[in-house]
Amino acid sequence: MDVRIEATWKEILKNEFDKEYFIRLSNFIKNEIREGKTIFPPGKLIFNAFEKTPFDKVKVVILGQDPYHGSGQACGLCFSVPDGIKPPPSLVNIFKEIKHDLGIDPPNHGNLEKWAKQGVFLLNAILTVRKNEAAAHSKAGWENFTNQVIQTISDKKSGVVFLLWGNFARAKKALIDTSKHYVLESAHPSPFSATYFFGCRHFSKTNELLQQQGLTAIDWSL
């Protein structure tokens, strides 16, 4: 199957695209569209996280669950929204923690592309959603694919910092070789659990871990 995905990822994941689950997943998405369902993000942005952060550039992984399901919000980067769209509550809380941790004032937008271009892989476990129906595609097969993505990063790279926020993300720790990668865990930044997210200092800790390896720190300002 010819999947439109960034070249380094296409090469390293090439065995996935002809597997039965991925073909079923592709057919599922096509059927949704044929039936007139509105799918987010737009087709050209489904693999945006891969486009913005090629495999060889990945230094940090932030894992989300599924895309925002409101009109205009989903852009293929977890937690991020396009310019001109109000940052959702979880993202607002991420910015609050960055302010607490590093003293960086919150931006007036929610576009996280600057992070992605520095090597922060902003991966949702589920890459599509139906308009106004959270987790509508949670059983479609995306997690088979994204679990393999996480496993591949774990197997083929070293020293990557994984930020796992909330129980859903923390369950992915089983896919990561913690003998050669770093895993930072906390509660989810959602308003329902942000009290336990605040104070995690994951942004300064990430930079310390990168710099210990001789890598450039992430500029978390936007």
Residue 178: CB partners within 8 Å, gap ≥ 6?
A: none
Environment class of 8 (CB within 10 Å of its CB; exposed 0-12, middle 13-18, buried 19+): middle
Looking up tokens 């978390």, which residue turns up? Answer: 220
Rounded distance between C-alpha atoms, residue 71 and residue 133, angstroms: 11
Closest C-alpha among 198, 200, 220 to residue 210: 220
66 flagged as catalytic: yes
Q: Which residue among 18, 66, 101, 105 is the active-site one?
A: 66
Rounded distance between C-alpha atoms, residue 30 and residue 115, angstroms: 31
Q: Please name the helix (run of DSSP H) or strand (run of DSSP E) that holds residue 82, with its range, or none.
A: none
Counting Cα atoms < 13 Å in the Cβ hemisphere of 23 gives 5
What is the token pair recorded at 114?
A: 């600057």
- Identify the three-state secondary structure at position 199: coil
Strand partners, 18: none
Residue 99: count of CB within 10 angstroms of its CB: 13
Q: Would you give the distance in Å from CA 169 to the centre of its chain?
A: 10
User: What residues are labeled active site?
Assistant: 66
